[in-house]
Amino acid sequence: VLRQIGSAGASPSHFDTFIVLRCTKSANDDNGHGTHVAGTVAAVNNTIGVVGVAPAANLYAVKVLSRTGTGYLSDLIEGLDWCISNKMQVVNMSLGSSSDNQSFHDAVIRVYQAGITQVAAAGNANGGAVTYPAKYGEVIAVTASDINDQFASFSSQGPEVDLIAPGVSINSTYTGSSYKVLNGTSMASPHVTGIVALRLQVKPGENPDAVKAVLQSTALPLPGLTLEQQGAGLPQALSVVKAP
């Protein structure tokens, strides 16, 4: 069973997000988690509310979780295959499972082989193990830091961690055209996804390995944090965009 750390969809009616809808079923967010994540990635720069990391990016809501924030691997696999068929460039997965699953990993590998960069929340296990899909090598695993660049105590950690990003007291879009402050590696992951989107705007078609290499080579290591807590460190958006 998958749990949020979802996408539970996104709110297409929120005036601070631009959602491209191409649905077979309703992608409306009846939980709030997905809308919050979407706003961090790409809330539009309209002088209202918040601005996302990549405000010019197009958002596609691929709803794989229920209103309770839980779901099934079969739905996520279907969502990942949809991303391949519809030629997405970057996939954010603010969700996780403590259990490995070969069919799930195979889907992640298919996305990777299609040239799509995948970013996932490391999990909120209070210093425990990184969850799947962040644990897979084809995915960029992101832990959470606070406003003082300290490791968030709720965050998972482990050798699979690639980067760290803000995940404490994150204000973003929410259901009902509102805003809400949330904590979690779910909030950290979309910061990195937004930076990936910025990179792909200047380097369209760059493969996932190259994107990850640029993110890590330009990241800022945070003092006092271990590699298992931060990976290469805090990604630097401007450096990522300017890198050759």
Q: Which domains can be identified in the chain, with CATH numbers?
A: 2-242 (3.40.50.200)
**Maximum Cα–Cα distance for the chain, whole Å?**
47
pLDDT tens across 21-48, in order?
A: 444 444 565 668 888 999 999 998 888 8
- Nearest one of 130, 149, 145, 220 to 184, comparing CA atoms: 145
Average pLDDT over residues 80-93: 96
Other C-beta atoms closer than 10 Å to the C-beta of 77 total 19
| Sign of the alpha-carbon torsion through 26, 192, 187, 43 | negative
The pTM assigned to this predicted structure is: 0.89
Averaged pLDDT score across all residues of the chain:
89
pLDDT value at 72 more than 70: yes
pLDDT tens across 169-219, in order?
A: 999 998 877 899 999 999 999 999 999 999 999 999 999 999 999 999 999
Q: What is the DSSP letter of 234?
A: B
Structure-token match 């980067």, residue found = 163
Structure-token match 């970013």, residue found = 119
pLDDT tens across 95-148, in order?
A: 999 999 999 999 999 999 999 999 999 999 999 999 999 999 999 999 999 999
In sequence order, the β-bridge partners of residue 170 are 182
